[in-house]
Structure 1
Amino acid sequence: MKSFLLGAGASMDAGLPGSFGLTRAVADFIDGPTSWRHDVGQLLHAVVGAMVQHDTGRGGSAFDGVDVERVFAAVKALKDRDSIDLSAFVERWNRNLDAPSAQVSFPSFWAKNFRKAMFDSWDHKLESEFESGVRAIAEATSGELFGRLESRMLDALIHILRADENRVHYLDPMIHSEPLAGIATLNYDLAVEKACINAGLTVDTGLDRWRGGYEWEWASPRADVRLLKLHGSLDYVLGHKGEDGSRIPGDHLSNFGEDRKGQLVGGSPAMVFGQGSKLRSDGPFLAMLVEFDRLLAETEWLTIVGYSFRDDHINAALTRWLNSDRVQRISIIDPSIGNWIAGDDRTPDYWHNIQRASRPPQKYDRGVWTPVQADLIAATATEGLARLHGS
């Protein structure tokens, strides 16, 4: 039976923090001794504090923590808040977030124009120049500061999400599983790559062969493990490059290694991060999603590890696969499964689709849909992978 694996939160077994622990880790990194700007750190604490206050006002606990992707999504929205349509309906933003950054200054040439206006015979000229200077300070927004915080948070992620090569052996059952169509991961770390190196296996992500279209090329001869990093990788930078003979400069991926120390080199991290829609039109992400569908189309047995079922574009691909004639078996490994089965408030909506797919046969107008064999394993990635694919 040809198998495929989708992994997400399994990196916690490699000693990496989860989404809630990452919030504290990112804040500690920004506040640390290597930080040369304290204003972005203060702003991050203000954002997290406002979100905790909002959650407690809706009946939540102050000690539940805040998902780092939710924080990042808020920072991105606040950075652009003056340009989003919602601003027309918001009379006043949180005053702690409206404070201007320490670098606010008068507009260029304002001093020269103000001095000139002092000697003008028309009083309204002096008044106009004075008002323009006051308005520039009074209306200064923290958009630039939020932009620096966004960049700093990504820099922190690159440093924090470095998997220890000595703690990735829990992935051995997965990478040795045969016949394996491939592995897709939503994580940015290099845990799978390091596990393959430790095991003496070759791994191919296809990222360095991407040329800007929807085609996804794999190495030839085929590597031992095909790895599809659907949300990008922390060691890749996405920029623009005009190749010789190309009409329009297009997206270009560069690999600067895990120790690039946040150097973006004229680009941005090739990662899809933050809550909400994670379907990006730039970069290789649409091409990878097309390849994800293609690999699923030849898969009979899908193993899902640590995925919260909250990414709409991934759920849509799973739906297409579950409704195909190829599907036979789906295995889900997650410590929260017991709570989901019990109907916990945090149960993802898509979980009900998984349960429906594994029900006894039901007859429809188009015929009889056979149930999918479902393994629901409430365990960590280490325990669940060993049980399913281990010796």
Structure 2
Amino acid sequence: MQFRKDEVIFLLGAGASVDAGIPASCGMINKLEDLLKTASWKEFAPLYNFVKSAIIYGDGIKGKFEYANFNIERLVNTLDELRKSDEHPLFPFIGSWNPKLPEVTENNFEKLGIFRKKIVEELSQQWVHSEYDEHSQYFDGLSRFQKDYQHLLRVFTLNYDLCVEKSCKQAGVERGFGEDKYWDWKIFENEAQLESNIFLYKLHGSIDWIRDDRGKLTYKDKGIPSEQIEIIFGTTYKLQYIDPFLFFAYEFRKRLMTEAQLLVCVGYGFADEHINGIITQALNGDHSRKMLVITPTKPDKVAENLQHIRNTLKLSCNDNVILWNLTAKDFFNDKLTVKELAKIFPNEEAPFEEIIS
């Protein structure tokens, strides 16, 4: 079987970069909690403990215990919402803040912004940096697959790192920046004129993105202040009206809802409601469309993990999700070939709960 153009697209989550030494969202929480024990961070420990406890409490009320979703994105999003204080649209409907909040902020809500800034600085300067040439070369598996696939390969990623750009450089990675280094959506519309073999859509931004004084998106190799790095935590408000985030979300939906027959999710934890909604619409709209999930899973938890994914996505068909019990590195290095992916469609019928150990 040979896939046609745009029948295979990729979605990369934080787990795809773990083997490159870049922690996933939950791993960043562990690193943050270690920092909060140090002298320069310990003043924020009470605030962190309060926010974390409140988030977990809110999940518990909804009955979400085993799959509690507390990670670095949710923490920063919550800090952003709290910083709005009386400017928040819900403020007129809220009788009062939790009395503990003024205590942990020492009656200074600016502390919320200071804490957020320190987290983003650590993320951009430490956690998301990697010795790419040494640790992330397994991403070159995307380049090898593209040659085997013989079509332009579309890769959507929720990650801020530069693993794909660095590792697949020889194949040609198109991110949408012109010769003037400014981003332009029209570049993606002229794919026949481009030599790049991989189109990379960074749905949540990148650690090398910045906007100039006119609000135009460009990129720099280094020296971007943490508060100016163009990344978003989750989808919230920017996705609604600011490019490239709006354009990339539209492209993901368009590609997934039209020609795509196989969505390959590598290291994605299904915690982004907006992305999940697009996937659900695509899989429920066409039951012949398949989703391959690449994630390391304990053998006795495979069936449970599959059912959790199906429940999260509210799928109407149980046959179109396949889980391969692999790390991203093992998948990219050993299993990512057209021949292996074609096995998902033997005689146009996908195997039910196919597992590779």
TM-score normalised according to structure 2 size? 0.73
Choose between structure 1 and 2: higher helix proportion.
2
Which residue number in structure 2 is paired with residue 158 of structure 1?
124
Q: Structure 1 residues 256 and 32 mapped into 2: Cα distance closer, same or farther (>3 Å)?
A: farther
Aligned residue type for 2:241: S
- Quote the Cα distance in structure 2 between the aligned partners of 1:19 and 1:348: 22
Q: Is the aligned partner of 1:206 residue 2:176? A: yes
Deviation for aligned residue 1:47:
2.8
Instruction: Please give the per-residue CA displacement for 1:311-362, whole angstroms capped at 9, x wherever unaligned.
Output: 3332343345446779654322123597463278965634452x7163xxxx
Q: Which of these two proteins has the greater Rg computed from alpha carbons?
A: 1
Deviation for aligned residue 1:233:
0.7
Which residue number in structure 2 is paired with residue 20 of structure 1?
26
Q: Structure 1 residues 282 and 268 mapped into 2: Cα distance closer, same or farther (>3 Å)?
A: farther
Q: Describe the SS at the equivalent of 1:99.
A: helix
Q: Is the aligned partner of 1:170 residue 2:138? A: yes
Which residue number in structure 2 is paired with residue 82 of structure 1?
86
- Quote the Cα distance in structure 1 between the aligned partners of 2:10 and 2:101: 42
Q: Is the 8 A contact 2:74 2:233 kept in 1?
A: no
Q: Structure 1 residues 185 and 21 mapped into 2: Cα distance closer, same or farther (>3 Å)?
A: same
Aligned equivalent of 1:6, options 5, 11, 16: 11
- Quote the Cα distance in structure 2 between the aligned partners of 1:325 and 1:50: 39
Instruction: Please give the per-residue CA displacement for 1:231-279, whole angstroms capped at 9, x wherever unaligned.
Output: 11111123550xxxxxxxxx3112122x32x515xx7321120486773
Q: Structure 1 residues 42 and 274 mapped into 2: Cα distance closer, same or farther (>3 Å)?
A: farther
- Which structure 2 residue ranges, 5 or more long, are not aligned? 341-357
Aligned-residue CA RMSD (Å): 3.8
Deviation for aligned residue 1:151:
2.2
Deviation for aligned residue 1:215:
7.4
Instruction: Work out the percentage of aligned pairs sharing the same amino acid.
Output: 26
Choose between structure 1 and 2: higher strand proportion.
1
Q: Describe the SS at the equivalent of 2:196.
A: coil
- Which structure 1 residue ranges, 5 or more long, are not aligned? 103-140, 242-250, 359-371
Deviation for aligned residue 1:144:
1.8
Which residue number in structure 2 is paired with residue 124 of structure 1?
none
Q: Is the 8 A contact 1:300 1:326 kept in 2?
A: no
Which residue number in structure 2 is paired with residue 315 of structure 1?
276
Aligned residue type for 2:81: A
Q: Structure 1 residues 255 and 341 mapped into 2: Cα distance closer, same or farther (>3 Å)?
A: same
Q: Describe the SS at the equivalent of 1:271.
A: coil
Q: Is the 8 A contact 1:300 1:329 kept in 2?
A: yes
Q: Structure 1 residues 58 and 331 mapped into 2: Cα distance closer, same or farther (>3 Å)?
A: closer
Aligned residue type for 1:203: V
Question: Within 5 Å, which residues of 2 pair with 1:1-391?
Answer: 1-2=3-4, 3-8=8-13, 9-28=15-34, 35=40, 39-40=43-44, 43-48=47-52, 50-51=54-55, 66-99=70-103, 141-159=107-125, 160-165=127-132, 166-177=134-145, 178-179=149-150, 180-197=152-169, 200-207=170-177, 208-211=181-184, 216-217=188-189, 220-241=193-214, 251-257=215-221, 259-260=222-223, 262-263=224-225, 268-274=228-234, 279-296=239-256, 297-322=258-283, 329-336=290-297, 339=301, 341-342=303-304, 347=309, 349-353=311-315, 356=317, 358=319, 374-390=321-337
Q: Structure 1 residues 256 and 39 mapped into 2: Cα distance closer, same or farther (>3 Å)?
A: farther
